[in-house]
Amino acid sequence: MVKPIKICIVCGREFQWRKKWERNWHEVKYCSKACRSGGLKGIDRKLESTILQLLRSRQSGASICPSEAARNLGSDESQWRSLMEPARRAARRLVHQGKIDILQGGKIVDPSKFKGPIRLKLKSE
Ligand SMILES: [Zn+2]
């Protein structure tokens, strides 16, 4: 049996149907307790809009590193570093909104599966 898949609204990763969700699968939004309790905060939306703003301010076809969005919003070293993972989650959500692609070595990667450094690029029309 092929298990149904959903996209977590917080981390933007795919997750698979599990037995414990048998009764309420249609309502499930989060892949994990961590995502459910963390939820989406103002800063998460800000990271999304900052990524888009940075990309739109560059030449078309240009790419950015998610750290640029994190640096943009973090006032000091430790603060922007703590925004790195949230910036990557924001990037995944933007992929699912059809707004950007995530690239590694110039190739589009699966937002649920990539590991290591990534670049972000506006989705070409
Ligand atoms: Zn999640």
Residues 117 and 71 placed together within one structural domain of the fold:
yes
pLDDT exceeding 70 applies to what percent of the chain? Answer: 99
pLDDT of residue 1: 72
pLDDT of residue 125: 62
**8 Cα–ligand 1 center, Å:** 5
**60 Cα–ligand 1 center, Å:** 31
Angle at 121 between CA 120 and CA 122, to 5 degrees: 135
For residues 99-120, give the mean pLDDT. 96
Residues 73 and 105 placed together within one structural domain of the fold:
yes
**7 Cα–ligand 1 center, Å:** 8
The CATH number of the domain where 67 resides is what? 1.10.10.10
**35 Cα–ligand 1 center, Å:** 5
pLDDT of residue 85: 95
Residues 71 and 27 placed together within one structural domain of the fold:
no
Q: Are 112 and 13 in contact (CB under 8 A)?
A: yes
Condensed to tens digits (0 to 9), the pLDDT of residues 9-48 reads: 999 999 999 999 999 999 999 999 999 999 999 999 999 9
Condensed to tens digits (0 to 9), the pLDDT of residues 48-65 reads: 999 999 999 998 889 999
Residues 26 and 48 placed together within one structural domain of the fold:
no
